[in-house]
Structure 1
Amino acid sequence: MPAGRRILSRLQTGPTFQPGPHKSLCAGHSDDRDANLIPLATMAVLPKHAHIPEIQGDTNISFEAMLYVFGFIVMCLQYINLYKTVWWLPNSHANYALNFYLIDPYLVAFLCVLMSRRLLWCFVQEIYGPRSGRGLLYMLVQACKVTLVSLAVISLFFTVFHVLRNHSLLYCLFLCCPIVTYIFLFGPTVKPLYLKSLNWPSSVAEKYSPKHKPGVDREQVLYHNCVMSPEVIRDEVENLKVDFNNRVKQILFNSMLTSYYMTFVPLCFAQNWKENHSVYNQNTLYYDTWWVGQHVFLTWLSAFLMLCAHFLPPRYLDLMHRCSQHLGRWQKGALVKHVRGLFKAEGVNVTAEPGNSMHGRFYFLFHRPLRVLNWMLILTWLLVGYQFFVLLQCSEWNHIICIALVLFCNYYTLFKLLRDRIILSKTYKDDDSGQN
């Protein structure tokens, strides 16, 4: 094993030798010996990092707009699956493709307003107007924000009142189920609902800049410290771990929220709305249980991949890879003795703590720069391939529309992931060949 691997984990940032009265007794011999010694800092080799080109991505507000449109589309598709008719038959009493009278308009309005909260809040936090002065345009933007928030709050209370009036309390409890998931993921705090640094991914910079000091920028900026101090690297790993866990929580929660409210809630309220209108009680609502359940799952997986592509962009994955190169990993071996056992080093540099499972997981996920991206790409390919296969087997008009529209949305996610994969693989390959 190279000496640098063992030394860097014990490397200190400052001198630890304290001179005493006995120094003069061996001064002559120590001068000759020190001249032949190699400093520890020169024996450690810092890893070489590839330079990632700027890859254009979606802004937060444009992504939230796309996610909201996607949620609205899948909600409409679920209503089509539930209330489709056979209007083309000669003896059919339906004049339209859907039984619109079976759809609760207040529930639809409530779901649309509720799922617009992220888009609306992103608009409030990111659109400021010309802040250099208090001109007419600035005041117009602020008035627009107040108007939109007021309309959203009023609409939410208005629709909730009518939903509670038209449906039983037991059915209305379905609207509160995501609260359990929220508490499980985030705990008893509301900061992930409104705090920008917790709600949307932070920006990533290649290196430290004075403008990145806390309190100067309005938003947090992540960057990598290319240093040799183990304490600094471990602190950076801890901060990045917290940020990565927060991103994963937001991905899981918001994908579940989109699937639950936009596809599962209409399914839960379908029969209840019919029962509350006695004029239609003689009819029975029939639908394909397997198909509507599949639509719920495909919606969740599609939203999950969309959020992954946005919250885990290429520059962020490269930042995690750079940090993992400095962290390294200790594996069970017979080279370094630690209180937790015998370990051997793995990596260019090793600053990880032996036996620390979090350091091991961090290194496993990110020491290969394309690992996480490959996982997302494989999952997207499987989803698109399955949807394309189902589309070839479809014969009913609502099934064809349902699969085709969701598949079209997933094509954009596949395009972004493929583009990122090609650029990153080319960048890392060129960098490796340049170093060799």
Structure 2
Amino acid sequence: MPPGRRYPGGRNGPGGRIQFSPPNIGGTNSSSAIGNGADEKKSVDSIGGRLLAPKHVPIPTIPVDGQLMFEALSLATSIIAACLQLLHLYRTVWWLPQSYNEYTMNFYLIDPHLLIFIGTMVARRFIYALLQRIMDSIAPDHWLPTVQQIMRVILLIIVIGILGWCLYYMSEKHNIMKVFYLCYPSISVYFLMFGVSIGPFFDISTTHSYVKDDRKTKYLLDRPLHNCSLSAPAIRAEVSSLRLDFNRRLKRALFASSGSAYLCGIAPIIFAPQHLNFNVRWVTQHIVLFWLGRLSAHFAQAYPVRYCDVLHKAALHLGRWYKVEGRNNHLPAQTWNDSVLWPHGSLVKHNKEMYRSEGLCTAAEPGNSSHYRFHALFSNPTMLLCSLLGLQISLVAFQLMILLHTIEWYQVLSMTLLTVTNYYTLFKLARDYLICWKVYRAEQIVQEKAQTALSNATQ
């Protein structure tokens, strides 16, 4: 190499591999400067005509519901679903001329302590989000962590006190096994998923978020942010952190949606009188549809477009390996090195197997199933959004189909309200998918043109 400035990435070695020392990352976003300037950044990104770092297209700013707004909508939806389930169980024939019922429901059969129990459980996250918003606006920044911990403990004591008071009176009027069925599933699943942590009981968000004011519109930007690193170990470490964060969000979304469905759909059935007659199919259908609707809403909130974009960028840097069948063909291959960022088409040997890299750069470990799944799921982020959108469209279409074939007044009312609660989630998912589809299609074209231009310049 001629004298002068040296690239931080090393030089081409046998078999076309390229080894790098960890670069100096100057920022936390994907457009961070590497090295001492833009010229060195360009030199590191392409060596020998090979594009080493994918080119990312920025995602436009998309409004995301804040935690307080989302919890308010969730509270309203849960209250509606619980009231509808009570309507399915305790409806009357009040409209008949000879009916002795003056009201649409037999309210005297409903246990008021059960209603307080359900209301407390479904409102706890909204109350916590409201108090947190108030504390954020009045408390100093250096006091916020301590204030939040104290607030959680106090709120937990109040919630446990109310729930214990309700359970005491419910155990006097009902079989103790009904109280056991009400409490044990939620408690056991919670400790199994989260241990003794208090946080997930009140807050389903996994990261501390900040709000950016842009033209009087608030947008929620979720962390973590992506680092455009050219260090293979740093890329794998980032992918591991993102994978753990994705799983944490998945667990919290599943627990929140399933808990709401259990409290608002199943709990009223547990405490229904034995002599009560109701439509079992319709009641069960209400539980399933409400659970699927809450599941889609929590997934849409837990995985916004900007978060999916971070996973996508990390997947492009990670790359993937394909196993080469027929190891006796004597193809020239290098032994895989965990400190090397391998270019496209590299052949390596690892654990007595031969692999070929795919992607502009590959930092994944050959044969690592978690790396392979991460790239398969997030190399095209529209797959996740398309799956959620498909679920939501199918859910709304199924509800409309049921509504067209329904003649009972309470069933029409129930299905109409339940369908309306899913329209907002359908709108958000459709908007996010259309934006992502256009952005990532443009990104793919940019990457293909950049790779072609670099290949032609070196010939």
State the TM-score bracket (shorter-chain normalisation). Answer: 0.7 to 0.9
Aligned to 2:343: none
Q: More deviation in 351-360 or 221-230?
A: 221-230
Measured after TM superposition, the shift of residue 154 of structure 1 is 4.6
Q: 1:52 to 1:169 in 2, by over 3 A?
A: same
Partner of 1:115: 122
Unaligned regions of 5+ residues in structure 1, if any?
16-37, 134-142, 206-218, 273-283
Distance 2:22 2:69 in 1: 48
Aligned residue in 2 for 1:419: 431
Q: 1:169 aligns with which of 176, 191, 211?
A: 176
| Contact 2:206–2:248 under 8 Å retained in 1 | no
Letter in 2 for 1:358: S
Equivalents in 2 of 1:309, 1:268: separation in Å?
31
Give distance in 2, aligned partners of 1:59 and 1:237.
26
Tell which deviates more after alignment, 146-155 or 301-310. Answer: 146-155
Q: Is 1:184 aligned to 2:189, yes or no?
A: no
1:56 aligns with 2:56: no
Question: Which residue of 2 is the match for residue 366 of structure 1?
Answer: 378
Superposed displacement of residue 382, structure 1: 0.5
Superposed CA deviations along residues 322-381 of structure 1, whole A, max 9, x for unmatched, are 000000111111632211511111222110000000001101110012010000000101
**Which stretch has the larger CA shift, 402-411 or 337-346?**
337-346
Distance 1:46 1:147, change over 3 A: closer
Residue number in structure 2 paired with 1:99: 106
> How big is the shift at 1:40?
10
Structure 2 vs 1, CA of residues 394 and 234 (structure 1 numbering), >3 Å: closer, same or farther?
same
Distance 1:147 1:40 in 2: 53
Aligned match for 2:398, one of 386, 404, 413: 386
SS at match of 1:222: coil
Per the alignment, residue 242 of structure 1 pairs with 244
- Counterpart of 2:412 in structure 1 is 400
Q: Deviations over 1:110-146 (max 9, x none)?
A: 110122221122223333233359xxxxxxxxx9999
Residue 292 of structure 1 is aligned with which of 278, 283, 288?
A: 283
Alignment: residue pair count? 377
Query: 1: distance between equivalents of 2:99 and 2:266?
Result: 29
Residues 117 and 14 of structure 1: CA distance in aligned 2, closer, same or farther (over 3 Å)? closer
Worse overlay, 223-232 or 83-92: 83-92
Question: How many angstroms apart in 2 are the aligned matches of 1:14 and 1:58?
Answer: 37
Looking at structure 2, the residues matched to 42 and 156 of structure 1 have their Cα atoms a distance apart, in angstroms, of: 65
> Which of the numbers 225, 231, 234 marks the counterpart of 1:232?
234
Give the deviation of 1:89 after TM superposition: 1.2
Q: Distance in 1 between matches of 2:78 and 2:90?
A: 18
TM-aligned CA distance change 1:99 to 1:360, over 3 Å: same
**Amino acid of the structure 1 residue aligned with 2:269:** L
Q: How does 1:286-325 map to 2 (within 5 A)?
A: 286-325=277-316
Residue type at the aligned position of 1:352? A
Equivalent position amino acid for 1:316 in 2: Y
* Contact 1:340–1:354 under 8 Å retained in 2: no
SS for the counterpart of 1:252 is helix
1:58-207 equivalences under 5 Å are 58-128=65-135, 129-131=137-139, 152=159, 154-175=161-182, 176-186=184-194, 188-193=195-200, 199-202=204-207
- Offset of residue 164 of structure 1: 2.0
Q: Classify 1:184/1:154 alpha carbon distance in 2 versus 1 (closer, same or farther; 3 Å).
A: closer
SS, match of residue 221 in structure 1: coil
Identity %: 35
Gaps of 5+ in 2: 1-11, 24-42, 142-149, 211-220, 326-346, 450-459
Query: What is the distance in 2 between the residues matched to 1:48 and 1:60?
Result: 32
Hey, what does 2:38 align to over in structure 1? none
Counterpart mapping for 1:338-349 below 5 A: 338-349=350-361
Name the residue aligned to 1:331: 322
Q: 2:88 & 2:352 partners in 1: Cα distance? A: 58
Partner of 1:28: none
The SS at the match of 2:283 is helix
After superposing the two structures, state which structure 1 stretch, 424-433 or 406-415, moved more. Answer: 424-433
TM-score (norm 2): 0.75
Deviations 1:24-46 (A, max 9, x none): xxxxxxxxxxxxxx999724521
The one-letter code matched in structure 1 to 2:179 is C
What's the offset of the Cα at 1:203? 6.0
Matched residue SS, 1:95: coil
- Distance in 2 between the 1:178 and 1:252 partners? 12
Identify the residue that residue 20 of structure 1 maps to in structure 2: none
Q: Secondary structure at the match of 1:336?
A: strand
Following the alignment from structure 1 to structure 2, what is the Cα–Cα distance between the partners of residues 343 and 433?
Answer: 27
The C-alpha deviation readout for 1:179-229, integer Å capped at 9, x for no partner, is: 22223333x332443586xx3043689xxxxxxxxxxxxx98301110110
Q: Distance in 2 between matches of 1:220 and 1:296?
A: 31
The reply on whether 1:259 has 2:261 as its aligned counterpart is yes
Letter matched to residue 119 of structure 1 = F
The CA RMSD measured in Å over matched residues stands at 3.1
- Give the 3 Å change call, closer, same or farther, for CA 388–348 of structure 1 in structure 2: same
Q: Which has the higher helix share?
A: 1
